[in-house]
Structure 1
């Protein structure tokens, strides 16, 4: 990039981001014309490489997953806006130290997968594919740069003698003046920011502690390699960040959205497993609605990039979840097809990860990762598809606390040896799979016919919960149990079993009874207790829709309940609360009645996973699809709670016709059969009516929070908004 001479150019042109000639094979141009830093000093500084060494910038680690850098590093031209979402060009980053040793590179090299730009200054937050744990982030300063103040700056740009140095270099600025978003600075003792320093940290050192004040943005580049020797000015502009702590914290702490085309706008996947495809009733489809008015698409097995073929009663999409499995910034769709026939094995089942891409799901070079027993590698290759296995009846996906993507899926009909339908689960990560059964080392329970281990699965960044709702406890058939694991792998390379839960334990309320189906529904979310540095604990909720309740001396069969537990980082558990509809006179909304099946479905979310958890951030919903509303049998209802505090302190009753869900309630609608929380909404599916094909309603948090004022609801249904006017169970699940 050409040097910057006139003052007018200085205030209007970005500091060169180090465009590198194609003939160079080393690192891109980076760093200041000052001295080298002491090894491991200022290791919060990072080196960005755009493309195949097309461009280089510097950056600073402000969160284990997030960097601050110059927006201009990602702009198509000087001053051009930078769109939110994944970078247009594959971009890698290495976070400190000042000497880029190969051993350290292996632990701190990441891809940048998401950009969140500022509109008011040359600043962008950049999310990395995985957290960096070996380098401490720098804290943002709390006061503005003052005239005459000296600030340190660092970067990996050019020096006075090198085009592409490998080491971090530092210099000192003297602040001239500051406005709301920038500060004018002058390099001290002949140092200047050079090409490639854009986005590097400008920081204040007080008492041996560094706090981030600004980012290098523009410079005359006097004394930098390649600059005209006649240019001696070391003046520049920096972009202030001392006032951005709230924005950084809010962005880093916001739950991840579903974003199949990686444009930074939330999308939604809506399953209709009974949809007809190519005349095959029940083949199943998943409808994708792209946010921002970017259209819709239908994913099904008649597409040439989706494994299998659409056949009657496959129920493609009976279970779905989302994760960025290939860590490219685009959300990927996990689809379970448990009724898929494989050769002569009826209902053997399969699972697919279908990859998102900038032009939409399935449009990238990588289309899918397929999981089918008897194929692939490791545990999948070593197992055999059999009639009734139902692989994919339950799926759960996410990333561990270390940032590693994973998928867990169940095969509850799997025979273990000669024991029919004992059940099995598979844990997929890092291009391999392992199988988990109740015969695996340390897994609670015993392999018994009909247990259905793997019928229900929940997972968060810390733990995994696998339900066996048909497990017999003593002589009580289908009393149910749950096994809880951490993501840490044991000596068998399986997730480490922590404990089992059932109502035969003294530490779990109630008693194990036939038909309770404890574990029929599960919800699991990260929890940060007061005093903890991060959300290292979890809260697990277990639904028992077959639980009979004594209400005012009258037994209510299958009224149902749910129980919450805290799972500590050390792997222990304690019960928190028991939830049910109770009596007509208690402080919980509703009244427990026979056949309600309260706890048939569960949904939970931590809306601020980086913050200390509170009653306002830990949200929980329970579906009771058997609830009668007036004389309308099985109209269904939902109750929302906080996961912290007493159940009746912050609950809200929801039925058709309330919370802006279209009504009125009618028989067999089974509201509550499909619920899912995101950080901003509760998605409520109504696959059984009243519309002919089903519908999905996105309820803002205010509509489902105690005392909240109802806001407009977004409704998705076949025949509207580009969604085909066909289906059978639209809204069966949504992610």
Structure 2
């Protein structure tokens, strides 16, 4: 059967598009030769514009962030295949959803930033740059269309009399024979699928709404504007979706991975903040390994597009996180350089967002957004860099539940008036990178700013909440006991995140008691959590590490054994403790035994592998670093324990040390401090070993099954200077990995 071509907008390309219309070769869409849809009807139908009006298609919103449409919309020659490359579309693409009358401003417009095609049919899932919250997605059917069943097809393509109609149209089609991946249809009452309707939905009534049965792929276009009047056939071939419900759910539920060149393949960025650059020891750098064998890259401050300049002991990359901040489908790196000297202010610090692009980080038009006190407008421009501020010591970045990108940048050495090193944090949000400051002197923030609190020394956030620690804060007379403040991303009257509550161990609702040197909040991890009573993941699970916690184990005091406490934070802003976790005794059900100097919880990382589904022990995971752990007589060899964030700690724990079945090579080595560098992704656990035993450091990527209780151990991937295209140079490679 011939294939429809994409609709071409009213440009100079019109003439050539008209000339080839009779050839009927695959493509995008715009409307069905039926009746205009009722105002607001079929609002989930999307109009897809490709390459600034050169082509157009239709589609259907099946999730707040995803549209399903035809793969042929995104290939130049559908006759040679209808499967586009995975990742960011080759040309700019926008989708308009909820605007059934294109002369209005209703609905929402989004960029399409990622394609996930099916290889077995003309169909693709297309991710939007941010969620659509004003239109209800259409449900994907699980029932094969019956022969003769009447289906409604919608689209924005040509009609009988219009080349580029301005309203959504619909028509009735009778279902015909069904094959493995396709289904045949015939237009009723002269309805036809026209150029521009490719990817549009075929719908079955379901109660008061509809469900998606298939999407337009190919048609004879009988009666469509511009077609030979002798062509009267209205038969069409659609790509089935009724057998793809599980596939759609898997794709839309999956959390993002780092993809700095937006090709749909996971990449990794590894910091080596002590590396020498241009003869400057400790200047620091970041190395990127692009997935799929696409090479490596080095980022340092001697590159002309990176602010600052490589200097001794800058420690560029001491902190790092990742987010698609400009929402173009390419992951960006947020990097802190807290030891950067600014004029005479030593260790004043700076931070940057380094933007990913199709050819890698720093290769696009937008390269960097820079954060430095005394530069720019607002709170940053009005402040002055001072020695020991350490802007960028801690970073957290992500996207709010509403779809807005953000970054939190800690300045733990910042003085507030005459209060030395009380600490501060910056909240960066929005496309214009608006910056506001948060401190314990801000309105409604619990606690009191005091000298040496170091508020902002540790920060963490997910799409729902923000946590900022002052782990050196005195609680009563207990110096260095530590506190954590939790905020909502919703902005208050001052334009700052809304403070919700503070946590410390003097509260009756928090396990333990505030003691000197506990350092409650020295590490944080937070993930979104969907309770059974909620549709989206409105809540969070927060883990707080206290590596200085002293424990009584079988009647013996164990100084700095360390522990972790987990909390549920609700959408309403309340909290409840879930559990307290430590290595315990040799006879309990948690692997290991708490010993003096273990510093259990010095590093934490967590992940929700399926944030759209109801949270479970299987999907919410926590990894705890124990860098002071002695393995036998090998001091500070370090270890890692993984847990579920839900349920009893011992029910799902898994112990990891060098040389065991989990896959970290070698044997326990003194002062290797395994567990000092950890980062969970949705595919596994990055374990950095900057302190050896390798000469330059290493990062080991452990598959999720290797770090899950009862999992089957699989081969790991190691990133190490001197192999895999990485130069044999460095000092603390693996200090951070994202």
The 2-side partners of 1:354 and 1:501 are apart by: 33
1:95 matched to 2:97: yes
Aligned with 2:189: secondary structure?
A: helix
Partner of 2:449: 447
Partner of 2:170: 170
Equivalent residues of 2:464, 2:538 under 8 A apart = yes
The 1-side partners of 2:209 and 2:575 are apart by: 39
Aligned with 1:292: secondary structure?
A: coil
The 1-side partners of 2:418 and 2:92 are apart by: 50
Partner of 2:527: 525
Aligned with 1:343: secondary structure?
A: coil
Equivalent residues of 1:527, 1:535 under 8 A apart = yes
Partner of 1:118: 118
Partner of 2:51: 51
The 1-side partners of 2:720 and 2:314 are apart by: 22
1:571 matched to 2:598: no
The structural deviation recorded for 1:663 is 2.0
Partner of 1:265: 265
The 1-side partners of 2:378 and 2:114 are apart by: 32
Q: Deviations over 1:426-453 (max 9, x none)?
A: 0111221000010101111111100000
> Map of 1:463-612 to 2, 5 A cutoff?
463-612=465-614
Query: Aligned to 2:734, which of 716, 731, 735?
Result: 731
Partner of 2:9: 20
The structural deviation recorded for 1:176 is 1.7
The 1-side partners of 2:113 and 2:587 are apart by: 52
Equivalent residues of 2:13, 2:54 under 8 A apart = no
Aligned with 1:392: secondary structure?
A: coil
The 2-side partners of 1:66 and 1:83 are apart by: 17
The 2-side partners of 1:450 and 1:564 are apart by: 26
Aligned with 1:587: secondary structure?
A: coil
Partner of 1:694: 697
The 1-side partners of 2:376 and 2:423 are apart by: 20
The 2-side partners of 1:358 and 1:671 are apart by: 35
The 1-side partners of 2:425 and 2:173 are apart by: 58
Comparing 295-304 and 16-25, the one that deviates more: 16-25
1:669 matched to 2:672: yes
Equivalent residues of 2:29, 2:155 under 8 A apart = no
1:301 matched to 2:301: yes
Report the count of equivalent residues: 720
The 1-side partners of 2:5 and 2:567 are apart by: 54
The structural deviation recorded for 1:521 is 0.1
The 2-side partners of 1:705 and 1:153 are apart by: 46
The structural deviation recorded for 1:163 is 1.2
* TM-score between both structures, scaled by the size of structure 2: 0.96
Equivalent residues of 2:524, 2:545 under 8 A apart = yes
Aligned with 1:534: secondary structure?
A: coil
The 2-side partners of 1:29 and 1:260 are apart by: 31
Equivalent residues of 1:42, 1:97 under 8 A apart = no
Gaps of 5+ in 1: 1-8
> Map of 1:82-481 to 2, 5 A cutoff?
82-100=84-102, 102-105=104-107, 108-430=108-430, 431=432, 432-481=434-483
The structural deviation recorded for 1:462 is 0.3
The structural deviation recorded for 1:103 is 3.6
Partner of 1:30: 30
The 1-side partners of 2:303 and 2:100 are apart by: 50
Equivalent residues of 1:392, 1:409 under 8 A apart = yes
The structural deviation recorded for 1:421 is 0.4
Aligned with 1:72: secondary structure?
A: helix
Q: Deviations over 1:478-519 (max 9, x none)?
A: 100000001101110001101000001111010000100000
The 2-side partners of 1:386 and 1:655 are apart by: 42
Partner of 1:4: none
Report the RMSD for the aligned CA atoms in angstroms. Answer: 1.1
Query: Aligned to 2:710, which of 707, 711, 714?
Result: 707
Partner of 1:641: 643
The 2-side partners of 1:124 and 1:418 are apart by: 59
The 1-side partners of 2:394 and 2:468 are apart by: 10
The structural deviation recorded for 1:23 is 3.2
The structural deviation recorded for 1:381 is 1.2
The 2-side partners of 1:460 and 1:655 are apart by: 29
The structural deviation recorded for 1:29 is 6.7
The structural deviation recorded for 1:21 is 5.1
The 1-side partners of 2:5 and 2:13 are apart by: 17
Aligned with 1:666: secondary structure?
A: coil
